[in-house]
Structure 1
Amino acid sequence: MPTLAVNIDHVATLRQARMAGFPDPVKAALVAEDAGANGIIAHLREDRRHINDEDVERIAKSITTRFHLEMAATDEMRKIARRVKPYSVCLVPEKRKELTTEGGLAVAGRVKQLKEYVAPIQNDGIKVSLFVEAAAEQLEAAAEIGVEYVEIHTGHYADAEGYEERKRELEKIFVGIAHAQDLGLKINLGHGLDYDNIISFSKIPHINEYSIGFSIIAEAVFCGLHDAVSRMALLVADFSV
């Protein structure tokens, strides 16, 4: 059965808006777990705009489900990951002025560099995922690097305007999923997924995990975090295996 991993970054975003001590992303992680989340995601950005180092340390020590750490492929982040030892790390691109991650990591043409980068992390027993576009060259490079997982970027589909554009973007993802599976990669999906657009993936077999954050935190404003996570977890639980 596919699982749900809840990204709690935007709980920290709300905290940082007032530079306050609350809301606490660790408390959010525990509520999400109780509501049915199978994993917790936090993105420790280089600029620390929301999640900070203390959050990462506390999340790793507090939750009982899987902790997925999103990070850029820098020496600093690798040192943090190897110290904290999350269940997995997902390497993502970062731009200083972006509102959120804008696209997949460019792995094609960087196989040797990234293979050397992830090796110490994998040797520590930490699983590695790459956040990539559903393009053959990126997926093939990911397989060559030797990671176990890819998270296919669903943002272009989520942001598409009009039926035809959404259909085109969805088909690209479907083709990418099939190709990644042929390469032996485990598939996670994430970025821009919400309670409505996620239904397009309900009949796609062998998806490992759905990574969802903003839509759940936004919905929680109106119904509470426990209910918002629970509703998404129930949706995912009904999907094809």
Structure 2
Amino acid sequence: MTKLSVNINKVATLRNARGGNVPDVVKVALDCEKFGADGITVHPRPDERHIRKKDVYDLRPLLRTEFNIEGYPAPEFIDLVLKVKPHQVTLVPDSPTQLTSNAGWDTKTNLAFLSEVLERFNKAGIRTSVFVSTDVEMIEYAAKAGADRVELYTEPYASGYAKNKEEAVAPFVEAGKFARNLGLGLNAGHDLSLENLNYFYQNIPWLDEVSIGHALISDALYLGLQRTIEEYKKCLR
């Protein structure tokens, strides 16, 4: 069964826009679990413009499902992950000023760097995932670097879905098969939504996890958080 990990960054963005602690990021995360989420994802950035380091420390002892921390493996991020020891760390190639993730790693060029970082996390008992495109060479080098999983960057699928969904999903199916043949676990994320998630899942049913934030939190404004999570879970059946 493919797990749904809810990225709560946008909840933190809303809180930070006003100051104080409304909405309460920890309460929302616990409610997501109560409503059926299989995990919680956070992406702490150096400027703390949404998730703050304090949020990460506050969440860790309270979460009952899988905790996934994603981010660029700068020294401060590595230190945070090693101290918190989440179930999974997802490495993304974002610069500190980047608005959101918009590309996968060049795992071939960054092989030595990624290998060193992944080894530290693997030794700490933290499952590792590397954010990649559907380029099979990038997936191959993620495996060579020592990743447990890859997370496919799905914005190109989401962008092409309305025009030609068969064509849009095809490279992801091939990438998913390639990753499976290498013995890698498979995650996916970015711009997956109630509109396009079920078709993606039907074509790649061996997905381990999808991480969804922006679309899910936006849908919750209309549907409510509980119903939204229920609807996303239905897409993964």
The structural deviation recorded for 1:161 is 7.1
Cα distance per residue 1:164-208 (max 9 Å; x no partner): 4x5433211111111111111110111100001112223223111
- The code of the aligned residue for 1:43 comes to H
Task: Identify the residue that residue 198 of structure 1 maps to in structure 2.
Answer: 197
Task: Identify the residue that residue 184 of structure 2 maps to in structure 1.
Answer: 185
Provide structure 1 residue ranges, at least 5 long, that are not aligned to the other structure.
none
Contact 1:2 1:209 in 2 (8 A): yes
Question: For 1:97-112, what aligned pairs fall within 5 Å after superposition?
Answer: 97-112=97-112
Task: Identify the residue that residue 152 of structure 1 maps to in structure 2.
Answer: 152
Task: Identify the residue that residue 52 of structure 1 maps to in structure 2.
Answer: 52
Task: Identify the residue that residue 168 of structure 2 maps to in structure 1.
Answer: 169
Question: For 1:71-110, what aligned pairs fall within 5 Å after superposition?
Answer: 71-110=71-110
The structural deviation recorded for 1:19 is 2.5
Contact 1:35 1:226 in 2 (8 A): yes
Separation (CA, whole Å) in 1 of partners of 2:101 and 2:80: 20
> 4+ runs of 1 displaced by more than 4 Å?
none
Task: Identify the residue that residue 17 of structure 2 maps to in structure 1.
Answer: 17
Task: Identify the residue that residue 129 of structure 2 maps to in structure 1.
Answer: 129
Provide structure 2 residue ranges, at least 5 long, that are not aligned to the other structure.
none
Task: Identify the residue that residue 115 of structure 2 maps to in structure 1.
Answer: 115
Change in 2 beyond 3 A, CA 1:16/1:171: same
Secondary structure, in 3 states, of the residue corresponding to 1:61?
coil
Separation (CA, whole Å) in 2 of partners of 1:45 and 1:96: 7
- The code of the aligned residue for 1:229 comes to I
Secondary structure, in 3 states, of the residue corresponding to 1:210?
strand
- The code of the aligned residue for 1:51 comes to I
Separation (CA, whole Å) in 1 of partners of 2:107 and 2:85: 23
Structure-2-length-normalised TM-score = 0.95
The structural deviation recorded for 1:73 is 1.3
Structure 1 stretch 105-114 or stretch 143-152: which is displaced more? 105-114
Separation (CA, whole Å) in 1 of partners of 2:221 and 2:86: 28
Structure 1 stretch 196-205 or stretch 25-34: which is displaced more? 196-205
Contact 2:107 2:142 in 1 (8 A): yes
The structural deviation recorded for 1:3 is 1.0
Separation (CA, whole Å) in 1 of partners of 2:84 and 2:25: 17
Separation (CA, whole Å) in 2 of partners of 1:104 and 1:221: 30
Change in 2 beyond 3 A, CA 1:232/1:92: same
Cα distance per residue 1:67-125 (max 9 Å; x no partner): 00011111111111000110010001213443321111221222122111121111111
Contact 2:169 2:200 in 1 (8 A): no
Secondary structure, in 3 states, of the residue corresponding to 2:233?
helix
Question: For 1:219-230, what aligned pairs fall within 5 Å after superposition?
Answer: 219-230=219-230
Secondary structure, in 3 states, of the residue corresponding to 1:36?
coil
Structure-1-length-normalised TM-score = 0.93
- The code of the aligned residue for 1:44 comes to P
The structural deviation recorded for 1:127 is 0.7
Change in 2 beyond 3 A, CA 1:167/1:234: closer
Contact 1:46 1:72 in 2 (8 A): no
Contact 1:107 1:114 in 2 (8 A): yes
Separation (CA, whole Å) in 2 of partners of 1:25 and 1:106: 33
